[in-house]
Amino acid sequence: MIEEAVILAAGYGTRLGGSAEGKPKPLVEIAKGKPVISYIIERLERANVQNVYIVTNSYSNNNSKTFYEFFLEWRKNLKTDLAIKILNDGTSRLEDRLGAVGDLDYVLQQEKLEGSILVIGGDNLFDFELVDMMHYFSENQKDLVALSEEDDIEKLRGLGIVRTDNRGKITLFEEKPENPSSTLFANCIYIFTPATLKKIPVYLSEGNDPDKPGSFIQWLYTREEVFGYINDGSFIDIGTSEALRKARDEYKAKDMYG
């Protein structure tokens, strides 16, 4: 099974604005005082991941604490058996950001990680378990992208749309298409092989987009076999105030009615 996970949490929260209250998006509370990232940690615990690396930055949004310090405080109060390491990518301004792919590369280089890695966007809220996806990867040893289904064409126009063949291999990946050709969209949840992780510096050196993980998948699936794994359950990217409200309503209802 996969023993190591990287949580990408070095965004600057520009889309969420004041709704984040000066905190990093992954630390925005959803229900009963629990932040987004704590839900992710619970999923990782149940998936028997051993080591978790969370990458953030030194940005301070008119606050005495930096995002890195916010995460250190959260970690201090978290009860878990997971080995969690918080990394600071050293950036403090939006224009200097490494981007999600750049941050993943930063963690890999800093920690000298060489095995297969589970990668999760820190502002992603999902209610499905990761174990089945991890078993699928273990059996196939191919790069894997978590997928969800959406019927609303307007929502699909703002997502990374995926088509697969009858084996589940990705045959098309389109970012925010005007005319979506599929109801499947990619989640920011990936499992990468060691061979693929070594390609990230190549991707970056070619001048490709360091900010969007989906751009890396677009680049990768034309060079290697990349598979999709369809998950049942909800997936919410906490990127806007509207998405945050939806998540809070949904999770408060779950807490209320079980």
Q: What are phi and psi of 62, to 5 degrees?
A: 55, 35
pLDDT in tens, 79-100: 999 999 999 999 999 999 999 9
Q: What is the C-alpha separation between 8 and 150, in angstroms, rounded?
A: 24
pLDDT for the residue 255: 62
- DSSP labels for 109-155? HHHT--S-EEEEETTEEE-S-SHHHHHHHHHH-SEEEEEEE---HHH
Q: Are 12 and 89 in contact (CB under 8 A)?
A: no
pLDDT of residue 248 exceeding 60, the answer is yes
**Is residue 145 within 8 Å of residue 134, measured between CB atoms?**
no
Residue-level pLDDT at 258: 43
Query: What three-state secondary structure class fits 2?
Result: coil
Local confidence band at 61 (pLDDT 50, 70, 90 cut-offs) = confident
- Tens-place pLDDT, residues 113-137: 999 999 999 999 999 999 999 999 9
33 vs 106, which has greater pLDDT? 106
Domains plus CATH for the chain? 4-141+188-207+234-257 (3.90.550.10)
Confidence of residue 244 (pLDDT cuts 50, 70, 90): very high
Query: Which letter, b or e, does each residue of 15-51 get, where b requires 16 or more Cβ atoms within 10 Å of its Cβ?
Result: bbeebbeebbbbbbebbeeebbbbbbbebbeebebeb
Helix or strand (DSSP H, E) at 237: strand 235-237
In this model, does residue 18 exceed pLDDT 70? no
Predicted confidence (pLDDT) at residue 19 exceeds the cutoff of 90: no
- Band of the pLDDT at 252, cuts 50, 70, 90? confident
The closest of 166, 147, 128 to 217, measured between CA atoms, is 147
- Local confidence band at 240 (pLDDT 50, 70, 90 cut-offs): confident
Question: At residue 70, what is the residue type?
Answer: F
- Rounded CA-CA distance 6/107 in Å is 8
pLDDT at 231: 94
pLDDT tens digits for range 181-225: 999 999 999 999 999 999 999 999 999 999 999 999 999 999 999
Mean pLDDT, rounded, for 127-148: 96
**Quick one: which of 30, 33, 37 has its CA closest to 246?**
30
pTM of the model: 0.95
DSSP state at residue 176:
S
What pLDDT is recorded for position 256?
Answer: 44
Confidence band for 12, pLDDT divided at 50, 70 and 90: confident
Judged against a pLDDT cut of 70, whether residue 31 lies above it is answered with yes
Other residues' Cβ atoms within 10 Å of the Cβ of residue 61: 17
| Spatial distance between the Cα atoms of 57 and 19, rounded to a whole number of angstroms | 19
Mean local confidence (pLDDT), 3-32: 84
Instruction: Pull the structure tokens for residue 123.
Output: 């502002």
Burial class for 161, CB neighbours closer than 10 Å (0-12, 13-18, 19+): buried
Averaged pLDDT score across all residues of the chain: 93
Q: With cut-offs at 50, 70 and 90, classify the pLDDT of residue 76.
A: very high
